[in-house]
């Protein structure tokens, strides 16, 4: 009898805990982020930069695309960095998917046969991808999360469990003018001009094909 009673108590406790559990964060890359954050959203999306200290033209923010990043040393792979469409001017990777914390830009027709893979993102680095010939078993680090944001219609991109350390900065690398998304912008970095950086958050905007 006593055993049954405590079993019932246990059952009641776990039932009442369930609704809270079901909205918790999913995935280690979402640890510490609000309930409802997920490393595998059910939708594909584009990214948009939202000023956190300057006025915004609208609530979505400025569209982001992939543009050329730092010049690399490998002939097999090139680095593409998340850039503003306003600065870069073309959109060869029209949308993203996020799966288990790995963020995949999806190639458009101009990039067919190629894939873009994320990497462990160090402080001070552009949010960038290695673009190379499609691999059957690529090693793609899990570092990203779609962080829930109750104050906004959009989830926010997080990297390294952090949504609040992105900036847009003028690049100094490309042959063309570019403005790139940087994680924990560093005053000493030579690939962008720190004096031009301003803080943004990155909206995850559901993509409709
Ligand atoms: C997301 O994009 C991938 C790659 O193009 C595609 O296979 C998948 O069906 C898309 N998912 C949704 C929900 O549209
Ligand atoms: C941020 O605000 C500045 C000043 O209003 C503007 O020039 C810039 O385009 C804005 N950027 C974004 C991403 O909204
Ligand atoms: C929002 O404003 C940005 C400029 O910051 C513009 O590029 C973008 O197209 C606008 N988006 C919408 C949905 O109006
Ligand atoms: C593909 O490349 C052509 C030629 O450079 C360019 O005109 C076109 O805008 C590109 N398409 C996309 C989707 O970026
Ligand atoms: C930048 O470099 C200076 C001189 O080498 C150094 O004192 C400073 O700590 C560095 N700042 C950062 C943010 O790394």
Q: What CATH number should be reported for the domain holding residue 162?
A: 2.80.10
Residue 209: predicted pLDDT: 75
**Do 182 and 122 touch, CB atoms closer than 8 A?**
no
| CA-to-CA separations, 188 to 88, 169, 173, in angstroms, rounded | 24, 13, 14
Q: Is 30 helix (H, G, I), strand (E, B) or coil?
A: helix
Note whether residue 17 is domain-resident.
no
Domain count, the chain: 1
Residue 11 lies in a domain: no
Residue 201, φ and ψ in degrees, nearest 5: -110, 160
Tokens of 201: 């958050």
Q: Is the CB of 65 under 6 A from ligand 2?
A: no
**Considering the domain boundaries, does residue 4 fall inside one?**
no
Say what the pLDDT of residue 24 is: 76
Q: Looking at ligand 1, which residue's alpha carbon is closest to its atom 13?
A: 43
- For the Cβ of 58 lying below 6 angstroms from any atom of ligand 3, the answer is yes
By CB neighbour count within 10 A (0-12 exposed, 13-18 middle, 19+ buried), where does 162 fall?
Answer: middle
Question: Which ligand sits nearest to residue 51's alpha carbon?
Answer: 2
Q: Cα–Cα distances in Å, from 76 out to 39, 103, 114?
A: 29, 20, 11
Ligand 5, atom 5, residue with closest C-alpha: 188
The reply to whether 29 falls in a domain is no
Question: Is this model's pTM higher than 0.95 or not?
Answer: no
Q: Which residues line ligand 1 (CB under 6 A)?
A: 43-44, 97, 106
Within a domain: 9: no
SS3 201: strand
For ligand 4, atom 5: residue with the closest CA: 110
In short, whether 56's Cβ falls inside 6 Å of ligand 2 is yes
- Domain assignment of residue 163, given as a range: 38-206
Domain assignment present for 184: yes
The tally of CA atoms less than 13 A away on the side-chain side of residue 1 is 0
Alpha-carbon gap, residue 152 to 41, rounded angstroms: 16
Q: Which of 41, 44, 206 for mutating ligand 1's site (highest number of atoms within 8 Å of CB)?
A: 44
Residue 80 counted as domain residue: yes
Q: What single string gives the DSSP state of each residue in 35-55? A: TT-BSS-SS-EEEEEEESSS-
Question: What does the alpha-carbon distance between residue 102 and residue 97 come to, in Å, rounded to a whole number?
Answer: 8
Judge if the beta carbon of residue 48 lies within 6 A of ligand 2: no
- State how far the Cα of 122 lies from the Cα of 191, in Å rounded to an integer: 14
Residues in the chain with pLDDT values less than 70? 1-23, 174
Predicted local confidence at residue 73, as pLDDT: 76
What is the position in ligand 3's atom list of the atom closest to the CA of 85?
7
Closest Cα to atom 1 of ligand 5: 188
- Determine the distance separating the centroid of ligand 5 and the alpha carbon of 191, expressed in angstroms: 15
> CA-CA distance, 195 to 201, in Å (whole number)?
18
Report how far ligand 3's centroid is from the alpha carbon of 56 (Å): 9
The answer as to whether 24 is a domain residue is no
């Amino acid at each position: 009898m006593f055993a049954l009673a405590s079993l019932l108590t246990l059952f009641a406790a776990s039932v009442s805990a369930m609704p809270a559990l079901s909205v918790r964060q999913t995935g280690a890359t979402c640890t510490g982020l609000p309930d409802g954050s997920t490393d595998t959203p059910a939708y594909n999306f584009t990214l948009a930069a939202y000023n956190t200290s300057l006025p915004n033209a609208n609530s979505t923010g400025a569209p982001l695309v992939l543009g050329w990043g730092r010049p690399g040393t490998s002939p097999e792979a090139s680095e593409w960095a998340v850039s503003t469409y306003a600065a870069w001017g073309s959109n060869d990777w029209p949308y993203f998917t996020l799966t288990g914390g790995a963020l995949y830009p999806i190639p458009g027709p101009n990039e067919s046969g190629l894939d873009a893979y994320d990497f462990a993102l160090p402080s001070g680095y552009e949010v960038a991808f290695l673009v190379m010939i499609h691999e059957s078993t690529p090693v793609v680090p899990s570092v990203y999360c779609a962080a829930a944001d109750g104050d906004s219609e959009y989830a926010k991109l997080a990297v390294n469990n952090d949504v609040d350390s992105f900036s847009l900065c003028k690049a100094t690398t490309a042959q063309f003018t570019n403005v790139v998304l940087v994680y924990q912008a560093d005053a000493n970095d030579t690939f962008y001009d720190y004096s031009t950086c301003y803080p943004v958050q990155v909206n995850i905007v559901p993509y409709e094909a």
